[in-house]
Chain A
Amino acid sequence: DSGVTQTPKHLITATGQRVTLRCSPRSGDLSVYWYQQSLDQGLQFLIQYYNGEERAKGNILERFSAQQFPDLHSELNLSSLELGDSALYFCASSVGGLANSEQFFGPGTRLTVL
């Protein structure tokens, strides 16, 4: 158990809909990262927040947005969902905000768009 929690574990929705994924980092970690992993694909970095501020942005679509709240939990919002958005979405956290910080991954949220 990494100490990172994600909810929900599974999510099934229809095209065009909007969903929110939630992540709680390990106690004491200030950084939260979001990743997407499509079937048989590698992890794709989406976005990072550090202590409430956006720190880095990767391959995140404009239909997706995220935020980190004062209690350091984070939410990833996915809107106008398409079939291709079906994937595992992982959240990771780290103490620091730099690229050499060790990241601890949550169990993921499996999103299925029908």
Chain B
Amino acid sequence: KNQVEQSPQSLIILEGKNCTLQCNYTVSPFSNLRWYKQDTGRGPVSLTIMTFSENTKSNGRYTATLDADTKQSSLHITASQLSDSASYICVVSVGIYNTDKLIFGTGTRLQVFP
């Protein structure tokens, strides 16, 4: 069964600290993996998209890694800011053709406190 699991479910950190969010997937055939940031009540915003041949991609203070062998991805946030408080969603694409095969994780809710 195609599944995407994220951990932790929620996370609280202090401003300025680093954190890492995890995503494990059981999806076949794998096409790509995306990380989205979703502020409360707003639409998700894409942070990174990685294919199986990419094992790291950065977007400012956000760095995503992908290990296609172990089917794990992580999102590392450096020097967190209050504005990083949001839900972070991992999405895996099953194959290239079928949009209904985008598998969404339930997200990690990150809260950054001063």
Question: B84-114 CB contact bits vs A (8 Å, 1 = yes)?
Answer: 0000010001111111111011110000000
Smallest CB gap from B31: residue in A: A100
Give A110 to B42 CA distance when docked, in angstroms. 10
Contacting residues, chain B, for A33 (C-beta < 8 A): 99
Question: B69-95 CB contact bits vs A (8 Å, 1 = yes)?
Answer: 000000000000000000001000111
> Cβ of B100 and Cβ of A108 under 8 Å apart?
no
Contacting residues, chain A, for B98 (C-beta < 8 A): 56, 99
Smallest CB gap from A57: residue in B: B100
> Cβ of B89 and Cβ of A43 under 8 Å apart?
yes
Contacting residues, chain B, for A108 (C-beta < 8 A): 41-43
Give A56 to B94 CA distance when docked, in angstroms. 14
Give A31 to B99 CA distance when docked, in angstroms. 10
| A97 on the B face (CB < 8 A) | yes
Range of interface residues on B (Cβ < 8 Å): 20 to 34
> Cβ of B102 and Cβ of A99 under 8 Å apart?
yes
Give A98 to B89 CA distance when docked, in angstroms. 20
Q: Which of B43, B96, B102, B107 contacts A107 (CB 8 A)?
A: B43
| B45 on the A face (CB < 8 A) | yes
Contacting residues, chain B, for A58 (C-beta < 8 A): 100
Smallest CB gap from A47: residue in B: B100
Contacting residues, chain B, for A31 (C-beta < 8 A): 99
Min Cβ gap A90→B in Å is 5
> Cβ of B99 and Cβ of A107 under 8 Å apart?
no
| B22 on the A face (CB < 8 A) | no
Give A8 to B42 CA distance when docked, in angstroms. 14
Smallest CB gap from B42: residue in A: A107
Smallest CB gap from A94: residue in B: B99
> Cβ of A42 and Cβ of B107 under 8 Å apart?
yes
Q: Which of B41, B95, B97, B102 contacts A45 (CB 8 A)?
A: B102
> Cβ of B46 and Cβ of A42 under 8 Å apart?
no
Given A99-B94, A99-B95, 4 extra CB contacts under 8 A: A41-B106, A42-B104, A56-B98, A92-B43
